[in-house]
Chain A
Amino acid sequence: MPVRVRVLGEAGERAVEHRPGMRVADVLRELGLLSDEYVVTRNGRVVAEDEPVEDGDTLLLYPVVSGG
Chain B
Amino acid sequence: MARCSVCGAPAVYVNRATGAAYCERHFREYFSRRVRATIRRFRLFRSRERIVVAVSGGKDSLALLHYLVNLSRRHAPGWEIRALLVDEGIRGYREYTVRRFERVAGELGVEYRIARFRDYLGYSLDEIVRLGAERGLPYKPCTYCGVFRRYLMNRVAREMGATVVATGHNLDDIVQTYVMNILGNDWEKVARLGPVSGPSSHPGFVRKVKPLYETLEKETTLYAVLHGLYDGFEECPYARLGERWEIRRMINRLEEQRPGTKYRLLRSLLSAIELLRKAGVGAEGEVGTCAICGEPSAHPVCRACLLRIELGILEVSEERLRSLPEAARRMVLKALKLSEKRGGPEGGDRSGGPR
Bound Cα distance from A49 to B10, whole angstroms: 12
B14 engages A34 (CB within 8 Å)? no
Across the interface, A68 reaches (CB within 8 A) one of B13, B56, B248, B253, namely B56
Docked-complex contact A46 and B14, CB < 8 angstroms: no
Q: Which of B191-199, B229-237, B311-319 contacts A (4 or more CB under 8 A)?
A: B229-237
> Taking chain A's interface residues, is the majority helix, strand, or loop, or is none over half, making it mixed?
loop
A34 to B255, CA, bound (A): 9
Bits for A25-68, please: 1 = Cβ < 8 Å to B, else 0: 00000000011110101000011111110000000001111111
Q: Does B136 contact A (CB under 8 A)?
A: no
- B37 contacts which chain A residues (CB < 8 A)? none
Closest to B13 in A: A48
Interchain CB contact (< 8 A) of B222 among A46, A51, A63:
A46
Interface-central residue, A37, A41, A50, by most chain B CB under 10 Å: A37
- Across the interface, A47 reaches (CB within 8 A) one of B12, B16, B355, namely B12
A46 to B354, CA, bound (A): 27
* Nearest chain B CB to A1 CB, angstrom units: 21
Q: Which chain B residue lies CB-closest to A61?
A: B233
Q: Do the beta carbons of A8 and B233 come within 8 Å of each other? A: yes
A12 at the interface (CB under 8 A from B): no
CB within 8 Å for A62 and B225 given contacts A9-B232, A49-B14: yes
**By DSSP majority rule, is chain B's interface helix, strand, loop, or mixed?**
mixed
Q: Is the CB of A39 within 8 A of B222?
A: yes
User: Restricting to A1-29, which residues have a CB under 8 Å from any CB of B?
Assistant: 7-10
Question: Are A67 and B233 in contact, CB atoms less than 8 angstroms apart?
Answer: yes
CB distance from A29 to the nearest CB of B (A): 10
Q: Which residues of A contact B173 (CB under 8 A)?
A: 66
The answer to whether B234 touches A48, judged by C-beta atoms less than 8 angstroms apart, is no
Check A46 against B58 for contact (C-beta < 8 Å).
no
A63 to B60 alpha-carbon distance, docked (Å): 12
Of chain B, the residue at the smallest CB distance from A45 is B12
Q: Which residue of B2, B59, B248 contacts A50 across the interface (Cβ within 8 Å)?
A: B2
Residues in B with CB closer than 8 Å to A50 are 1-2, 14
The reply to whether A8 and B232 form a contact with Cβ atoms under 8 Å apart is: yes
Does B256 have its Cβ within 8 Å of any Cβ on chain A?
yes
Q: Of B93, B221, B252, B354, which is within 8 A of A39 by CB?
A: B221
Which 7 pairs of residues, A with B, have the shortest CB-CB distance? A9-B233, A67-B235, A46-B12, A48-B2, A68-B236, A48-B11, A8-B233
B235-277: which have CB < 8 Å to A?
Answer: 235-236, 239, 248, 252-253, 255-256
Residues of the A chain whose Cβ atoms lie less than 8 Å from the Cβ of B239: 67-68
